Amino acid sequence: MTNPRLRIAPSPTGYLHVGTARTALYNYLYARQKNGVFVLRIEDTDVERSSKEMTEIIIEGLKWLGLNHDEGPFYQSDYFSHYTDYLPQLEKTGGIYRCFCTPKELEERKQNVIAEKKAWKYDRKCLHLSDEEIKENIEKKKPFAWRVRVPEGKTSYDDLIHGVIEKENSEIEDFVIVRSDNTPVYNFAVVIDDFRMKITHVVRGDDHISNTFKQLHIYRLLDATPPSFAHLPLILDENKAKLSKRTGTVSVLAFRDMGVLPEAFVNFIALIGWNPGGDREIMSLSEMTDLFSFEKVTKKGGVFDYKKLEWMNSKYITNYDSSKLLDLTMPFFRSAGIETSSFDREKLMKIMDSVKEKARYLKDIPELTRFFFEDVKTYDEKGKAKYLTPERIEHLKVLKEKLNSLKEFSHDEIENIYKTYAGEKDLKGGDIIHPTRLALSGRTEGPSLFLMMEIMGKETVFSRLTKIIESDIL
């Protein structure tokens, strides 16, 4: 087999959905694994609902995820005339015919059938028009759509995930492929595009399974070999319903804006419906490429677990390169109103290192580090009562004097002073560490105290200790 060609074909009628992102990822993984081609096609035949803004957001979202396409983006709207160019070829097969039924006529006949408590499908009225009747309608310039004449029998295909699926052709109505305004319907446009672009594998959500049977009839009329189909299980919310914006966040870029790392998000969505085997969950894009297979994609929908995403993102933040992490976090500092310009890059990276193990999202980092950049204005109320007792403030006075003797205000030197003092006074470490942390940050939790003090520097540490020692804040 020649190298596979796969595509992602989003419709720019909304943001890049989580489900579309996962579909793009699986297409990308298979294409990269098999040295194939990954194509980006924008399906904008719905001219009224499609927008340039949504197209740009979709492309931006795929770029953020690192799913770079090899060809495209191609736009269906650039090829409207190309679709209808295939009509003469299809008409010669006898497999399509003109339908002059108006929407009003169709609705009336549909309601009559429903009133008889029967299932409606197109009644083939126009299939039985004589050549003279067709000619007369055309001469009258009566609008018409093109329908596919579905033959008797069954239609089946071997899905890469679900196995063989078949359907009685009697359950498929003679469907429209080109509307009366000469615009192609989705099922026709997608087949022509995939045929023209020589797509070998169509990987998409299993809500498209019903479309596949119609599309196979178009391939039959084109006398073309259909691509291999793989229909992915839907992504579900925590109530096992289809994930939608009514039940949670579904826009990919919304996760970026809340501080999810792209590598974490890709890793997370890859595992919604796919398991490479074993208990391993943290994987790079390259590792996923090596491990991916459709055989290990589940048939049932997977749940979008926000807590798991939070856990996975925290793991990625902890292990992320601090320099890159700093660059990604700067917009969040600006949004939080924190001015960082007074710190050089080296110190900012140290600050990043000191808190990244505690961050769930990038947006958490500014608040976890605010005390480095701004003077402490408030102190944890429970912490004040517990840790800033008169006895412990006396310890802070002594420690401040001992710290003043340090020539090098470093983590190790500071730690040595605290350990020595605790030993001399027969104190537990927390007896002096917790009061110091509260005095310096206003919080009872945070980064390693001695690293925090080194980053702050002697002047800031002394200033904040003095503020507690000399004031009555209780």
The catalytic residues are 245
Query: How far apart are the two ends of the chain, measured CA to CA in Å?
Result: 77
Q: How many CB atoms are closer than 10 A to CB 328?
A: 18
Kind and range of the H or E run holding 138: helix 131-139
Strand order in the sheet with 145-148: 96-99, 145-148, 176-178
Q: Number of H helices and number of E strands within the chain?
A: 21, 12
Nearest to 205 by CA among 20, 61, 4, 7: 20
Do 412 and 398 form a contact (C-beta atoms < 8 A)? no
Spatial CB neighbours of 270, under 8 Å, sequence gap ≥ 6 = 22, 25, 26, 29, 283, 288
Find the helix packing angle between 429-441 and 411-425, rounded to 10°. Answer: 130
Q: What share of the chain is helix, strand, coil (3-state, %, to 5)?
A: 55, 10, 35
Sign of CA dihedral 324, 325, 330, 335: positive
Angle made by CA atoms 216, 269, 276, in degrees to the nearest 5: 85
Q: How many CB atoms are closer than 10 A to CB 448?
A: 17
Distance, C-alpha 384 to centroid of its chain: 43
Spatial CB neighbours of 206, under 8 Å, sequence gap ≥ 6 = 161, 162, 231, 232, 233, 234
